[in-house]
């Protein structure tokens, strides 16, 4: 009987260590995913916002020198950069929603493990994990597309800014 108790204690201790490691993993995943999303979105926002400020400053100097740029193309460049800012900002929101869904999915997994270790019932089952994963990946993909669109907007705006000064 004593051997059975030691075996049971070992299993419980092992399960507790697994639980601790999964919880640490959950915290690290949240922290690093959030940092990565910020790093991915930041260039699109900074490039488009910086382009607007720099181009308006340049247009002011060009105008003072007596040269008149093509105002229609100036407007197109500024509008494209504004669209880049909006798409990048929306990508930030989608990244947040995606992260929340991934966090919820991992929490459900952790709670299932807790229930197994502690012998309790859980309110959400593993069938809740699949829809959360699908939701998270859908928003994550949309955020990536919008970040790419924001970077594309920067390049497109730069093209129109260039030709507004040439013609």
Boundaries of domain holding 44: 2-166
Mean pLDDT calculated for residue range 83-89: 96
Over the chain, what is the mean pLDDT? Answer: 85
pLDDT 10s digits, 113-133: 777 767 776 665 667 778 888
The per-residue b/e assignment along 53-75, b for 16 or more CB within 10 angstroms, e otherwise, is eebeeebeeeeeeeeebeeebbe
Q: Quote the number of domains for the chain.
A: 1
- pTM: predicted TM-score of the whole model, two decimal places: 0.76
The enclosing domain of 91 has a CATH number of 1.20.1260
- pLDDT above 90 covers a percentage of the chain that reads 46
Least confident window among 28-42, 59-73, 109-123, 148-162: 109-123
Taking each helix axis from N to C end, the angle separating 129-166 and 2-64, rounded to the nearest 10 degrees, works out to: 20
pLDDT 10s digits, 20-52: 787 787 778 777 777 877 788 899 999 999 999
| Structural contact between residues 99 and 37, judged by C-beta atoms closer than 8 angstroms | yes
């Amino acid at each position: 009987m004593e051997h059975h108790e030691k075996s049971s204690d070992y299993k419980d201790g092992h399960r507790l260590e697994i639980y601790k490691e999964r919880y640490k993993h959950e915290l690290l995943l949240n922290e690093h995913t959030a940092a990565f999303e910020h790093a991915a979105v930041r260039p699109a926002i900074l490039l488009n916002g910086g382009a607007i400020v720099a181009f308006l400053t340049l247009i002011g100097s060009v105008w003072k020198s007596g040269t008149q740029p093509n105002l229609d193309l100036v407007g197109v460049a500024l509008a494209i950069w504004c669209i880049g800012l909006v798409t990048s900002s929306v990508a930030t929101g989608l990244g947040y929603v995606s992260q929340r869904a991934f966090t919820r999915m991992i929490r459900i997994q952790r709670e299932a493990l807790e229930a197994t270790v502690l012998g309790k019932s859980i309110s959400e089952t593993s069938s809740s994990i699949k829809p959360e994963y699908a939701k998270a990946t859908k928003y994550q993909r949309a955020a990536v597309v919008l970040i790419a669109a924001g970077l594309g907007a920067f390049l497109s705006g730069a093209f129109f800014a260039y030709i507004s000064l040439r013609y």
